[in-house]
Chain A
Amino acid sequence: MAIFIRPLGRWVLNWVQEAGAMLLFLLQGLALAFVPPFRPRRLLQEINLIGVKSTLIVLLTAAFTGMVLALQGYYTLRKYGSEGALGSAVALSLIREMGPVLTALMVSARAGSAVTAEIGIMRITEQLDALDTMAVNPMQYVVMPKLLAGLIAVPLLTAIFDVVGILGGYLVGVVLLGVSSGAYFSGMVQSVVPLDINGGIVKSLVFGLTIIMVASFKGYYTEHGAEGVSRATNQTVVLSAVLVLAWDYILTSFFM
């Protein structure tokens, strides 16, 4: 029995330790946002890297997600003769669930891995040490603007995702399958309540911070050269996806 329990215990302990370290890392990074010097240009650069450059993939994913949701929704709702509810079904799925989660997963695959690789390379080529020796805090110069960019960009991308998804659903539901356009939108307006929207925003904020926290942390503590960077990049994608889905469950149960 002990043979199984001991490694399990060690695994859990390691995990808790790493989670704690990551949380401290996050808090330290965010606190540095309030300490001069302020570098607005760095923030803009990161919003560009993390946000703007993820727009295309978010647009594509959103359009197809909305289209699939309409297709599946139509198929299910028709069985009950309530195709009119398609608009609200698509909108609620997107705003409450698919928008925040899929945006987060896309940003983590595209930008999260890039953040880990960038910071990891800075670590192994001593660029972070060089900042330190120039009396520039690498946490503040490199990591903090990325965290803020995640916090700003992911909710905005989520909003884009929701809108584009709804239009994708419109294309399939109304244009292709013949649901009435009025029903599609009026159902939506009646059924989506502020709680749904707020829940979506809170999710996207939490996801954005989580993704960039994991990505920066893994990059910052990279060891063992180039191989270490590729391992860290891998871990970032896996861990941030798991954390996003776990958070999603917790937050959903909270916003029911």
Chain B
Amino acid sequence: MIKIIDLHKSFNGQAVLDGINLEMPTGKITVVIGKSGVGKSVLLKHIIGLLKPDRGQVLIDGVDVTQLKGRKLQEMRRRFAVLFQGGALFDSLNVFENVAFPLREKTRLPEAEITRRVHERLEQMNLSPEVANKFPDELSGGMKKRVALARAMIQEPEIILFDEPVTGLDPPMSNTVFHLINKTHDASGYTALVVAHDLPEVFQVADYVAMLHRGRIIAYGTPEEIQRHQDPKVQSFIKGEVDFLED
């Protein structure tokens, strides 16, 4: 289980996370929703120790990630995969090499097996075999996202953090991606955090939903509970109402 306790983070005196408490049960998909700029990516980066909090803890099976360094941190990170918001594909490597990267770096699989797995993942993401030889700057935004997804899933990690897995994809493709997340999740049962503001589609993958607002989690529950939630802020966000009053 991943447990975030009283997490605080400010940038230049501006509080972004202001006492986050959140639990992500093992084997479940927890979705964090919230407006753009509210700190969803910042929260995600604390979970893998890319950012250090000003205060608070991130416990993974009881171990505080925020205190880990060096080899211990690296070992912890091997249990994770991350889909970055912009994909973070390596510009100097082609699609095949990008997806194969975690296997080549972190396993001793023979090249034939790596090739097989990479092609399997690419196919799963509806990417044609020719794409394998392209470089990231030759891909459309949606293709990049799917390649990044393939790379994140290739090692079948215990925990996957998805930062906006479908933003920028057309509706059929975002449904495909959510379907893929569900399918791979059913198969391997990883623990997942999905950060998204694509409503209501994201509810189809969520076991639990948390809403981040002004540095805090203001609502938490199953998708049904969130959809019935009393708080007008939650309701207006879910319904996509324009709010002229908010900053």
Query: Could you tell me which A residues sit within 8 Å of B by CB distance?
Result: 37, 118, 121-122, 125-127, 129-130, 132-137
Contacts and interface: CB of A to CB of B under 8 A. Distances in A.
Interface string B88-111: 111110000000011001100000
A133 to B, nearest CB: 5
Nearest to B75: A135
Q: Which 10 A-B pairs give the minimum distances between C-beta atoms? A: A130-B88, A126-B88, A135-B74, A133-B82, A135-B77, A126-B84, A135-B78, A127-B88, A133-B48, A129-B50
Contacts of B162: none
Given A133-B48, A134-B77, A134-B101, A125 B106 contact: no
A129 B102 contact: no
Contacts of B86: 125-126
Contacts of B48: 133
Contact of A132 (B77, B91, B101): B77
B80 interface: yes
A136 B105 contact: yes
Contacts, number: 47
A199 B90 CA distance: 40
A83 to B, nearest CB: 52
B106 A134 contact: yes
Contacts of A127: 88-91
A29 B25 CA distance: 39
A251 B48 CA distance: 46
- Interface hub of A121, A133, A136 (most chain B Cβ within 10 A): A133
B15 to A, nearest CB: 20
Interface string B101-143: 1100110000000000000000000000000000000000000
Given A132-B50, A134-B106, A135-B106, A122 B78 contact: no
Interface string B41-64: 000010010100000000000000
Contacts of B105: 37, 134, 136
16 contacts: A118-B92, A121-B91, A125-B86, A125-B88, A125-B91, A126-B85, A127-B89, A129-B45, A129-B88, A133-B77, A133-B81, A133-B82, A134-B81, A134-B102, A134-B105, A135-B78
A134 B80 CA distance: 8
Given A122-B91, A127-B91, A133-B77, 15 more contacts: A37-B105, A122-B90, A125-B88, A126-B88, A127-B88, A127-B89, A130-B84, A130-B90, A132-B77, A134-B81, A134-B101, A135-B74, A135-B77, A135-B106, A136-B105
